[in-house]
Structure 1
């Protein structure tokens, strides 16, 4: 399971919460491994963008300031329904490339669980706590708070490690035709766009699991038929005789 998103994307945080609910109700959840993939909403953003977020939103989309604030209020209400607290009045926007590099570091050193913890921590840092998301020292604090080694995180940020991994994720997003996030990809075959409700995401998981099971069964059936055509004739056991134990039909319990 792969999810493309950005840490400063409000809908991505909502999508993460909804996916967690969907996964909790999925019968095969222990078989699902989630990998967070990089997607920058604004690759050309400065390390820290000055000014209030509502003013930037209004200027970017050419809308009145009050409309931008109303959009933020609506988003805050949607987030609250998922148990999230958004504080756009605190948000300090900036470039997220380094945050994505740290997410690759997290999965490399601690696996998917560590990456998911950092993902949630980075989203809270920006959307709730007012951390400057593009500032290296802020990123080190967030990484340490999620359980990563602070010195290792700082070393990563002082180098160019995982820069190619971020770019590779973004290249794959373009190949998939992803232009907005969150975007969920199941088994590299099934895509779900947007922060869909939990029941929709759970249905997607159920459908993908069932289709993959059907495909696997079809392959097994075809392989068995091919094997039967190439096997030599079975030895014949005379009537009343004892042919001993065998597993020629594959039904033996071993």
Structure 2
């Protein structure tokens, strides 16, 4: 059976991406054609040059990079945590480790290859935002990979794989071609785009619209934007 594809550009360390995942899942749960939909996670790096520093808190990092006071950074984290709770998510920003996520994206690319991309993405989100895992640490990532049923040897090899790194870069290149400046960014059936963690109702509307157009050729991507479509952008704004 031919399936309608949903591609999602996302970074593991983007809190709105986790919220967007939950809102899409809620819409899909009531979508009558759910079994005919494939979800594919695409790599996006909000800060490719980020230096891993387990000794620095995320509040300190945000204060340094954004010019905020430490209190402002902590208040932003508290606000985000409240938003997460409304979607059933637990954000613990006191535990979050400042880490470059590129090798975690390589692991995600391998997980996609095995058909476990969604499970791996979910586990990475929880590990990063709730458990305070260092997503730049190979041993930590292999432990997470084993939890979702990935082969340990192959997962280990993926962390240094040029092929999977090229796939990360390909996803980033594709996002640039689409003009994506912030994540999450969803593309349904290669025709309809949703920018940001829109409300569940927006996803429901988009699913119905995309399904109606499924298998039809339509050039370009119509992007749904709005004040409620919160996102993280490449300039470091969340």
TM-score scaled by length of structure 2: 0.85
Distance change >3 Å, CA 161–CA 211, structure 1 → 2: closer
- Check if 1:6 corresponds to 2:11: yes
Matched residue of 1:34: which SS?
Answer: strand
Residue 143 of structure 1: CA displacement?
0.9
Distance 1:66 1:47, change over 3 A: closer
Aligned match of 2:228 = none
Q: Which residue does the alignment assign to 2:138?
A: 136
Q: Does 1:21 align with 2:26?
A: yes
Which string of whole-angstrom CA distances, capped at 9 and with x for unpartnered residues, describes residues 11-55 of structure 1? 001111111101111111111100000000110112445311111
Structure-2 residue corresponding to 1:42: 47
Which of these residues, 83, 108, 112, is aligned with residue 78 of structure 1? 83
Residue matched to 2:234: none
Rounded to whole Å, the distance in 1 between the matches of 2:203 and 2:57 is: 34
- Aligned partner of 2:169 in structure 1 is 167
1:159 to partner: Cα distance = 3.4
* Shift in Å, 1:102: 0.9
Q: Per-residue displacement from partner, 1:86-119 (whole Å, max 9, x unpaired)?
A: 010001121111111111111212x1xx110000
Contact 1:85/1:128 (<8 A) preserved? yes
Gaps of 5+ in 1: 217-254
Q: Which runs of 4+ in 1 moved over 3 A?
A: 47-50
Q: Distance in 2 between matches of 1:145 and 1:135?
A: 16
1:127 matched to 2:129: yes
**Which secondary structure state, in structure 1, belongs to the residue aligned with residue 183 of structure 2?**
coil
2:24–2:203: 8 Å Cα contact kept in structure 1?
yes
User: Would you tell me which structure has more helix in proportion to its own residues?
Assistant: 1
Cross-structure match for 1:207: 209
Which segments of 5 or more consecutive residues in structure 2 lack a partner in the other structure? Answer: 1-5, 218-238
So what's the TM-score if we normalise by structure 1?
A: 0.80
Q: Out of 194, 197, 200, which is 2:199 matched to?
A: 197
Q: For 1:104 and 1:59, how far apart are their aligned partners in 2? A: 31
CA contact (8 A) 1:39 1:170 kept: yes
Q: Does 1:103 align with 2:108?
A: yes
The structure carrying a bigger strand percent of its residues is 2
Contact 2:106 2:161 survives alignment (8 Å): no
- The count of aligned residue pairs is 212
